[in-house]
Chain A
Amino acid sequence: MTLSGRKKLTSMFLAFLCLVYSSSALAQPVIKEITGKEGDKIWFIEDHSIPVIQVKIAFKNSGSSYDSPQKSGIAYVLAQMLDEGAGNLSDIQFKKRLEEMAIEMDFDVDKDNFYASIKTLSENRKNAFEMLGMALTVPQFGSEAAQRVSGQLITSLTQKMEDPYYLSGIKWDELYFGSHPYSQPMMGKPETVSDIRRKDIVDFMRMKFVRSNMVVSVVGDISEKELDKLAYEYLYVLPKTPPNIDTPFLHNMIQEFIPPENAKTISLHSPNPQSVAAFGLPWLPYKHPDFYASHIINYVLGGGEFESRLMKEIREKEGLAYSVYTYPQNYDHASVLSGAVGTRKAKIKDSLDIIRKEIKKIHEHGITQEELESAKSYLTGSFAIKLDSNKKLMDFLTFVQLNDLGIDFFEKRNNYIEKITLNDVNRVASQLLDDSKLFTVVIGENEKQDK
């Protein structure tokens, strides 16, 4: 294969030439499901290539949307407090012990779930499981640590408000989700974080950290037998089901979100030279039969970086932005196609007009056969090679379990994409991709238009 003698022929020609080089079949990770004595399950990939073990626990229905609406930020504060001392170890002792053994312990939340994860050298596995178990069952929540953590969080939240990308995302969620719990920011708000008390996080933890909510994924240098033993000893000490706590907000269920009829646009003033707009519209959930068709629409519209229509029109043709993109956000009870663009203040409206125009175009005329082929080719070809580290495999196991996609999802996933036809995509585009449902938040609209 060589380029000489070829003058700008069609690119597809080249793509097939490459197949002459020895190809090796994609290696499939062997995913095991381990079932403990009491029925608890772990998804596990055994790998001894590096002496490292990574564990991720997700607690379902325990994310920021389950915060009390008056105290947005409870789940996130809990995440920040869990490594601030546990059992008989003070905050500083706990952290020093982690550092001593180079155990990395992280806690995080998204709208739906709470996550706890560890990375450890396999020689320290027992200590790592033990300390994770301590953090989840007997955290100290000392008042001095709590004050410090909440002060840090409030500062960091005020600082984040300076970032137009963060701000536009927060405002978009408020605008779109309205009174639904998904409108709450994941990290809380400065004014609500200061109201969070010890009892709030203790109750939240007792109610949520139970085995019926727990989804465990492990990748690394450990045997199945020992993993089962360590999990039994240090993780299955959590109660099976939630205790009886009468705090009302902890019993709130999240309803399926119904997208509003009328789209809205808001603009906020900003001193920045570059305006940032967040935009989005209703989308399909993973379990929907047309999900993969919508996935292809996203790739063609704004998900496929330089291959996307938005990047070609807004960046390459008009020079209006360095960055413009879309991506699907699939929550348990709502799905949206989100996107963002940054353009100098005087021209932000031009970028937004193009976005609307391109959405309309795909809505009315669909995508081309060539675009379909390119999207399928990228989405199938990149899938397995993106899972290029144990960390990513662990995240993948968690994702598949949380969305109930089946243990054979790795093998099946590309077939779902292969079978999509142009008719499927264009039918879905004509129903789904409706610019009249586009919600937009502009941070720093052109001053002239504000008047």
Chain B
Amino acid sequence: MKHGFITAFLATIVFFSANARAAITQSNEFTLKNNLNVVVLTDKKVPAVIHMLWYKVGSADEKPGKTGLAHFFEHLMFKETDYLRDGEFSSLISYNGGNDNAFTMQDYTVYFQTIARNHLPLAMMLEADRMKNLEFDKEKIEREKKIILEERNMRIENNPKALLAEKMNSSLFNGHPYSTPIIGWKEDIENITADDLKEFYERYYRPDNVTLVVSGDITADELKPLAEKYYGSINNGEKEIIRADLEKPLNISKHYVSLEDKRVKNPEWVRYYVAPSASSSKSEHALPLVVLAQILGGGETSRLYNSLVLEKKLALDVSVYYDEMSLGKSTFSFQAVPGKRVRFEQIETSVEQEITNLIKNGINNEELRRAKNLLRAQAIYARDGFKNMAFVYGFALSTGLSMDYVENWPDEINKVTASQIVKAAKYILTEKNSVTGTLTEEKQKENDIIW
């Protein structure tokens, strides 16, 4: 659904950024005089484009006590400007056969429209308008607050799994800008004021803090004059852009978080490790970790699935997830659904055994080749349609990576060696930097945790 569909979008991000990348031959980049950076991806199959603004500000940039501000602000972008009434932005896009949406992440906030190519100027004009002319009406902000609290109810409060993930993330990144939920803590959302939103707008919503990505039936030569016309004359503000300190050291020790909730029908075991990203320190481990995630827990031929589900029959499902695209550190995570009468410690021991085994005995050529083939094929599959690649380039450029990074990704994946993967596993998957979470029904004896 529209406006900040964080969780729904996470599923897409798993697909895009863990796996899917490929070179598009017709990709171009240019910068306007006001430092607005533009990326053009040409794919002429359908006479339509996706027009996206990737603002370099996200939940990580919020001040303590004001969590949820970036996402709250995203909602306001669909409201009144000096020229448009509430909701008129989306009405105009719809009237012209287009669709529009937005989402907020830790490092960036994204607004986009898919529209017939002849209506691209409309989308550009509207985005340029709300980059500068937004209005802040106290009453409307209070009403939007109620909607955002319902959004939090729907995504988090109604969903024990999401509540556990929120607790674990908060514990893993304790004190770090990544520790807060993107949608914000309930009390913080309630305390956000028109002044907070206005200050945030003036500081971050400016041409030199955004990447414009346009993909589809458009060339750089066609786009350049349009970009100049609509965005070229917007001034950067006076305020300084202050981004979060993501290299802030983490105070890490192995710990456990448990959530008992009467709504839970099946227990779940989850572990998060802090891991480098392709942009953070120790980024040399990032691509080996992508391949490692595939080998350990990427589907039903993976090591963990084979061991925990097929052989030992301890778990009904097990999976591993890692996203190397993050401005700061990332998370390498494991998730398992224990079988009946299986204790969490049995799951934990088996997962750790598989990790130890991999570090000790290495990886065989066949599984390495299989994992790489699959990752590279997925990069080709991602080229189906002009939209996917716009997201991939946007993710990369908003997390400190370059267009080359995207274009060389399949080759770089192919170069990853078994010993690099083992080295990365050894560096990351040590207990001291982990948090383990368990989800159980209240008073469920069978799954009591005895550590």
Set B47, B160, B300, B339: member contacting A162, Cβ < 8 A:
B160
Please state if A274 and B158 are interface contacts (CB–CB under 8 Å). yes
Q: Which of A2, A11, A18, A23 has the most CB of B within 10 A?
A: A18
Whole-angstrom distance between the Cβ of A235 and the nearest chain B Cβ? 22
Cα of A17 to Cα of B126 in the assembled complex, Å: 13
Which residue of chain B lies nearest to A161 when distances are taken between CB atoms in the complex?
Answer: B265
Residues of B within 8 Å of A15, CB to CB, are 92, 95-96, 122
Residues of B within 8 Å of A388, CB to CB, are 46, 48, 114, 385-387
Taking A151-B339, A316-B86, A381-B96 as contacts, is the C-beta distance between A162 and B310 under 8 angstroms? no
Which residue of chain B lies nearest to A390 when distances are taken between CB atoms in the complex?
Answer: B384
B264 is an interface residue with CB less than 8 A from chain A: yes
A73 is an interface residue with CB less than 8 A from chain B: no
Which residue of chain A lies nearest to B43 when distances are taken between CB atoms in the complex?
Answer: A49
Please state if B90 and A11 are interface contacts (CB–CB under 8 Å). no
Please state if A274 and B88 are interface contacts (CB–CB under 8 Å). no
Which residues 1-29 in A have Cβ within 8 Å of B in the complex?
A: 1-3, 6-8, 11-12, 14-15, 17-19, 21-27
Residues of A within 8 Å of B388, CB to CB, are 389
Residues of B within 8 Å of A2, CB to CB, are 125
B144 is an interface residue with CB less than 8 A from chain A: yes
Q: Mark B250-292, 1 if CB is under 8 A from A, else 0.
A: 0000000000001111100000000000000000000000000
Set A18, A161, A384: member contacting B96, Cβ < 8 A:
A18
Please state if A49 and B45 are interface contacts (CB–CB under 8 Å). yes
Please state if A272 and B150 are interface contacts (CB–CB under 8 Å). no
Please state if A3 and B306 are interface contacts (CB–CB under 8 Å). no
Cα of A51 to Cα of B376 in the assembled complex, Å: 13
A369 is an interface residue with CB less than 8 A from chain B: no
Residues of A within 8 Å of B117, CB to CB, are 23-24
Please state if B380 and A21 are interface contacts (CB–CB under 8 Å). no
Please state if A27 and B92 are interface contacts (CB–CB under 8 Å). no
Residues of A within 8 Å of B86, CB to CB, are 316
Whole-angstrom distance between the Cβ of A330 and the nearest chain B Cβ? 22
Taking A119-B381, A151-B339, A388-B386 as contacts, is the C-beta distance between A378 and B373 under 8 angstroms? no
B12 is an interface residue with CB less than 8 A from chain A: no
A321 is an interface residue with CB less than 8 A from chain B: yes
Cα of A319 to Cα of B158 in the assembled complex, Å: 18
A-B contact count (CB 8 A): 220
B175 is an interface residue with CB less than 8 A from chain A: no
Which residues 72-98 in B have Cβ within 8 Å of A in the complex?
A: 78, 82-88, 90-92, 94-98
A266 is an interface residue with CB less than 8 A from chain B: no
Q: Which of B95, B121, B377 has the most CB of A within 10 A?
A: B95
Residues of B within 8 Å of A380, CB to CB, are 97
B209 is an interface residue with CB less than 8 A from chain A: no
Whole-angstrom distance between the Cβ of B273 and the nearest chain A Cβ? 25
Which residues 90-125 in A have Cβ within 8 Å of B in the complex?
A: 92, 95-96, 99-102, 104, 119, 121
Whole-angstrom distance between the Cβ of B248 and the nearest chain A Cβ? 33
Cα of A159 to Cα of B439 in the assembled complex, Å: 12
B299 is an interface residue with CB less than 8 A from chain A: yes
Please state if A381 and B90 are interface contacts (CB–CB under 8 Å). no
Residues of A within 8 Å of B266, CB to CB, are 155, 158-159
Set A24, A344, A391: member contacting B118, Cβ < 8 A:
A24
Set A3, A26, A274: member contacting B154, Cβ < 8 A:
A274
Residues of B within 8 Å of A328, CB to CB, are none
Residues of B within 8 Å of A391, CB to CB, are 384-385
Set A148, A163, A164: member contacting B310, Cβ < 8 A:
A148
A437 is an interface residue with CB less than 8 A from chain B: no
Please state if B46 and A385 are interface contacts (CB–CB under 8 Å). yes
Please state if A159 and B265 are interface contacts (CB–CB under 8 Å). yes
Residues of B within 8 Å of A273, CB to CB, are 153, 157-158
Which residues 138-175 in B have Cβ within 8 Å of A in the complex?
A: 143-151, 153-154, 157-160
B426 is an interface residue with CB less than 8 A from chain A: no
Set B97, B154, B316: member contacting A377, Cβ < 8 A:
B97
B212 is an interface residue with CB less than 8 A from chain A: no
5 CB contacts below 8 A, A to B, read A148-B309, A155-B317, A155-B337, A316-B87, A322-B154
* Given A322-B153, A384-B48, 7 other A-B residues pairs in contact with their CB atoms under 8 A: A50-B384, A99-B373, A162-B264, A316-B87, A319-B144, A319-B146, A381-B116
Query: Could you tell me which A residues sit within 8 Å of B by CB distance?
Result: 1-3, 6-8, 11-12, 14-15, 17-19, 21-27, 47, 49-52, 54, 92, 95-96, 99-102, 104, 119, 121, 148, 151-152, 155, 158-159, 161-164, 271-274, 276, 304-307, 312, 315-316, 319-323, 325, 342-344, 374, 377-378, 380-392
